[in-house]
Amino acid sequence: MKCSRLKNLVRDWYQQVRSFTLSPLKMMDLVNKHIKQCPTCQQDEDLPLELEQLREIVRVPHTVATKEEKIAEEPVYVYEEEIVEEEEEI
């Protein structure tokens, strides 16, 4: 990392992750926000590799499941069959 500010921020955020006051996902989100705003980080060619190593250290998944992926199938209600039977009797 060429950016000294990012180095300090990562060090501070990592300490917060270790003390369970900051989630690893939030830490990487903060890192990405810094990179988008920092010209030094945007020009750093080695930064993607270093971020990959950082993800492994803090154990962040590479892709976060979207809401659609989490809801793969519709929920099955336990009493759904009983409701259908009662309607047929009426």
**Residue 80 within a domain:** no
- pLDDT tens digits, one per residue of 13-28: 888 888 888 888 888 8
Whether the CB-CB separation of 28 and 14 falls below 8 Å is answered with: no
* Mean pLDDT, rounded, of the chain: 77
Average pLDDT for residues 1-24, to the nearest whole number?
A: 88
**Residue 24 within a domain:** yes
If one counts the domains in the chain, the total is: 1
**Residue 69 within a domain:** no
Distances (CA, A) of 30 to 7, 25, 26, 62, 70: 13, 9, 6, 15, 24
Domain that holds residue 9: 4-64
**Residue 23 within a domain:** yes
Sign of CA dihedral 4, 9, 14, 19: positive
Whether the per-residue pLDDT at 45 is higher than 60: the answer is: yes
- Rounded percentage of the chain residues whose pLDDT exceeds 90: 17
- pLDDT tens digits, one per residue of 49-71: 998 888 888 876 555 555 555 55
